Copies of this chain bind each other. A is one copy, B any other.
Amino acid sequence: MTTGVPEGDSVSLGKLKQMMADFAKERDWDQYHTPRNLLLAMVGEVGELSEIFQWKGEVKRGVPDWKEEEKIHLGEELSDVLLYLVRLSDICGVDLGKAALRKVELNAIKYPAKASKEVTNKENEIENSSTANNGTIEEN
């Protein structure tokens, strides 16, 4: 690409949802795709994703010292979680894209930009960050 925009950025949740629905239909797998089956399948994939990180100690941003095959494996496990998550949402009748946009808005109200910044800095001044409640997307 010449634009510098990652090519996968344009992939929409609707497209993934449709691909997963077609995939299941073509294989007669709708019968297995119940909410709790899909949830447990997703938990299984989260486990596989965690296994990639389990013995590594702290990992640097961009995973610069990982082998190419490990990076590919990482992309596969991240994808598996995403695909089951999209499918689970669809099967539950949840508009995931709409819900996600709404959640970001709620988080922006819960953690106002300026206030959160100040809290973060303050925390860092008086103690190590281990107990700071920052970085969080939500607390529900």
Question: CB within 8 Å of B: which of A45-100?
Answer: 45-51, 53-63, 65-67, 70-71, 73-85, 87-89, 91-100
Closest residue of B by beta carbon distance from A132: B55
Give the interface size class of chain A: 35 or more
Select A97's contact among B8, B42, B107, beta carbons within 8 Å. B8
Contact A137–B80 (Cβ < 8 Å): yes
Contact B44–A51 (Cβ < 8 Å): yes
In the complex, the count of this chain's copies comes to 4
User: Which B residues touch A24, using CB under 8 A?
Assistant: 135
Quick check: is A130 within 8 A (CB to CB) of the other chain? yes
* Distance, CA A57 to CA B99, complexed state (A): 25
User: Which B residues touch A107, using CB under 8 A?
Assistant: 23
Interface residues of A (CB under 8 A from B): 5-17, 19-20, 23-24, 26-29, 31-37, 39-51, 53-63, 65-67, 70-71, 73-85, 87-89, 91-104, 106-108, 111, 113, 116-117, 120-121, 128-138, 140
